[in-house]
Chain A
Amino acid sequence: MDKAVEPNSFKTGPDEEGMFGIFGGRFVAETLMPLILELQQAYDDAKNDPAFKAELRELSTNYAGRPSKLYYAEGLTRHVRQLAKDRGLDGGAKIYFKREDLNHTGSHKINNCLGQILLAKRMGKTRIIAETGAGQHGVASATVSARFGLPCVVYMGATDVERQAPNVFRMKLLGAEVKPVASGHGTLKDAMNEALRDWVSNVDDTYYLIGTAAGPHPYPELVRDFQSVIGEEARAQILEREGRLPDTIIAAVGGGSNAIGLFHPFLDDKSVEIIGVEAGGRGLDGEEHCASMSAGSPGVLHGNRTYLLQNKDGQILDGHSVSAGLDYPGVGPEHSWLRDTGRVSYVPILDDEALDAFQLTTRVEGIIPALESAHAIAQAVKIAPEMAQDKIMIVNLSGRGDKDVHTVGKLMGMEI
């Protein structure tokens, strides 16, 4: 792949057609085209409306609990310094966690859902649909729908319904209807197909609340904008705490909404190394992973062109990850562009490495991270010992791991 042209700023995309270089776009059926244009118009209006911004700020502060804390992970830092020592090194970077796990509903997903539910209300839509993998976005969608009194249907792969049972129950408690999707492997990709089919069939009253920074334009842009609060806060918080920018920031990438939210405000800070962590599953040799940017190729799915796991005939593969939230064969288009421009490095972390990081963080920090976030932590633990002690790293702790306790217990051979 030729390296994409490096722009003056990495923060100006997408263009008017929704493109980030060759990625993004609006690859949707004609039925949906007018809706996407209407959404774009509504979003452009909302962006410039002080009342919209004020309402979002109020909800973010008093309902979601923002700003989220920037926490110095002393136990994990001690751990990586010990690892360095064991290797005869003097290193061990200082690790901070951006605590999105402390948000209402337990993950970063609420940031985007609050923004989009206000858009839906503004557009006069009366029914919400959403797709979900791990159930974090489903729970956040069900939550904001309850808060605003709108009926909500959540599409969820049948496999995920099984492995994320606690979240399924939470959604039901919140009044949402959870529809299991049995096609494919019964994961996020299949849930998204089904949500799109619902939207095509119910265009008049329905708002599709996409949970990640993917899909047709303007979703990648607006989800990114609603999630960028993560990076904006983190940037200000680290400047206040340390008096300087971090050396490295790390986030897990499935569709990539928590990652783009952390990354975007740092994109033009050239001194900051940015690392996105993909699900390496059982290794990149076979098909049992979801590392679309490490091992896939550009293609068109779910409304946008982006890196995908696919075969030579352009059929999409199902992939695999222990983490339902990363179990998606594509990625948001802006990440694909950031990969090709070289601004962000994307690396895989295996299921086993993520499980180790999950347990490690639980023990040394007293924080149970989501399996998705555990991928980012695993990468931090991998590289921090090789970095000097005065280096600073921020890891996005995108969600809490209560939902994963059953999955992890099963893998550890325990019956819960």
Chain B
Amino acid sequence: MATRIDRKFAALKAEGRPALVTYFMGGDPDYETSLKIMKALPGSGSDIIELGVPFSDPMADGPAIQAAGLRALKKGMSLTKTLALAASFRESDNTTPIVLMGYYNPIYIYGVDRFLKDAVASGIDGLIIVDLPPEMDAELCIPAIKAGINFIRLATPTTDEKRLPKVLQNTSGFVYYVSMNGITGSALPDTSKVADAVKRIKEHTDLPVVVGFGVKTAEQAKVIGTAADGVVVGTAIVNAVANTIRPDGSLVADPAEAVATMVQGLSTGVRAVRLAAAE
């Protein structure tokens, strides 16, 4: 069964360029503004949207995404409202894939079956759940696949040859290669190593491989995009939102506009890959 994610990658392949995958935190700085941010993403050049679900204890995230999650939680964001955000976005966009990204506990507490039903109804296409490795597939991965939702796995530099098949076994949609060991928002990795890693993963799977962690500029997006099927930008976008907020919570500028401007810039990077290939 082809999902929105599969169709998107097929279209990008025809276009001959990598995907720009954009992460933002649902509910940051508040529900309405984050809906505006989300709605502006496709028009600014985002191909796939990663919708962050805030969690009180994001143990794999750096300070920027931790702070974004806390801002959202303080304004009353929840998993229920995150699903509502996706459903609201779907009213005007039925093609851009939405991947929900977060931690397992809010889903566990919501109830796995109920969550999957509501996620499908809200137009969610994929899940990235940071603290569910393949060893815990029975929890959510298998039920999600049955519900028609892609379960997207992270592969990391610590994922060796022996472990890679296990990691890829129940992965669908795409593979998310975390290009360095560390928390989100860390420094940009060595690009030649990234290219080798992507090649290594591709020897084991036909799925698209996207690369994340550390990309901030169009030039970096272009470099990484040349080596992979997609580039994930997260912390830079979350920072663009943060930079519009004063310490007292009032806004210096429009967060949606700030994000749109940043994404437009990044999208020239991934689009340049195609131009470069044509030369």
**Interface residues, chain A, CB within 8 Å of chain B?**
17, 25-35, 183-184, 189, 193, 196-197, 200-204, 297, 299-303, 305, 308, 310, 312-316
Give B75-117 as 1s and 0s: 1 = Cβ < 8 Å from A's Cβ atoms.
0001110000000000000000000000111111110000000
Q: How many A-B residue pairs have CB under 8 A?
A: 117
Q: How far is the CA of A34 from the CA of B162 in the complex (A)?
A: 10
Interface size on B, residues (CB 8 A): 43
Q: How far is the CA of A310 from the CA of B109 in the complex (A)?
A: 9
Q: How far is the CA of A302 from the CA of B60 in the complex (A)?
A: 11
Q: How far is the CA of A202 from the CA of B181 in the complex (A)?
A: 7
**Interface residues, chain B, CB within 8 Å of chain A?**
55-62, 66, 73, 78-80, 103-110, 130-136, 153-160, 163, 167, 178, 181-183, 186
Q: From B59, B106, B109, give the contact of A29 (CB < 8 A).
A: B59
> Is the Cβ of B109 less than 8 Å from the Cβ of A299?
yes
> Is the Cβ of A27 less than 8 Å from the Cβ of B110?
no
> Is the Cβ of A314 less than 8 Å from the Cβ of B59?
no
Q: How far is the CA of A32 from the CA of B159 in the complex (A)?
A: 9
Chain A residue numbers with a CB within 8 Å of B132 are 27
Q: How far is the CA of A193 from the CA of B58 in the complex (A)?
A: 8
Q: From B60, B106, B133, give the contact of A197 (CB < 8 A).
A: B60
> Is the Cβ of A25 less than 8 Å from the Cβ of B136?
yes
The 8 closest A-B pairs by CB, nearest first: A314-B109, A314-B106, A201-B182, A313-B78, A315-B56, A314-B105, A31-B156, A196-B59
> Is the Cβ of A31 less than 8 Å from the Cβ of B59?
no
> Is the Cβ of B131 less than 8 Å from the Cβ of A300?
yes
The answer to whether residues A313 and B57 also contact, given A30-B154, A201-B181, A303-B131 and a CB cut-off of 8 A, is no
The answer to whether residues A33 and B55 also contact, given A201-B181, A203-B181, A303-B131 and a CB cut-off of 8 A, is no
Q: How far is the CA of A31 from the CA of B154 in the complex (A)?
A: 9
Write the chain B residue with the least CB distance to A37: B163
Write the chain A residue with the least CB distance to B69: A315
Q: How far is the CA of A411 from the CA of B156 in the complex (A)?
A: 49
Cβ distance A309 to chain B, nearest Cβ, rounded Å: 11
> Is the Cβ of A30 less than 8 Å from the Cβ of B167?
yes
> Is the Cβ of A197 less than 8 Å from the Cβ of B156?
no
Q: From A31, A201, A313, give the contact of B80 (CB < 8 A).
A: A313
The answer to whether residues A316 and B105 also contact, given A31-B178, A34-B163, A35-B158 and a CB cut-off of 8 A, is yes
Q: How far is the CA of A314 from the CA of B131 in the complex (A)?
A: 14
Where chain A touches its partner, the secondary structure class is mixed
Q: How far is the CA of A315 from the CA of B76 in the complex (A)?
A: 11
> Is the Cβ of B136 less than 8 Å from the Cβ of A183?
no
Chain B residue numbers with a CB within 8 Å of A26 are 133, 135-136
Write the chain A residue with the least CB distance to B132: A27
> Is the Cβ of B158 less than 8 Å from the Cβ of A300?
no
Q: From A34, A197, A312, give the contact of B59 (CB < 8 A).
A: A197
22 contacts between A and B (CB under 8 A): A26-B136, A27-B131, A27-B133, A29-B59, A30-B133, A30-B153, A30-B178, A31-B156, A33-B159, A184-B56, A197-B61, A201-B181, A201-B182, A201-B186, A203-B158, A301-B57, A305-B108, A314-B105, A315-B56, A315-B78, A315-B106, A316-B56
Cβ distance A41 to chain B, nearest Cβ, rounded Å: 13
> Is the Cβ of A316 less than 8 Å from the Cβ of B156?
no
Q: From B79, B80, B104, B158, give the contact of A27 (CB < 8 A).
A: B104
The answer to whether residues A300 and B105 also contact, given A27-B136, A315-B55 and a CB cut-off of 8 A, is yes
Cβ distance A219 to chain B, nearest Cβ, rounded Å: 14
The answer to whether residues A193 and B57 also contact, given A30-B167, A201-B182 and a CB cut-off of 8 A, is yes
Chain A residue numbers with a CB within 8 Å of B153 are 30
Chain B residue numbers with a CB within 8 Å of A299 are 105, 108-109
Q: How far is the CA of A164 from the CA of B116 in the complex (A)?
A: 45
> Is the Cβ of B105 less than 8 Å from the Cβ of A301?
yes
Cβ distance B44 to chain A, nearest Cβ, rounded Å: 29
Chain B residue numbers with a CB within 8 Å of A17 are 135
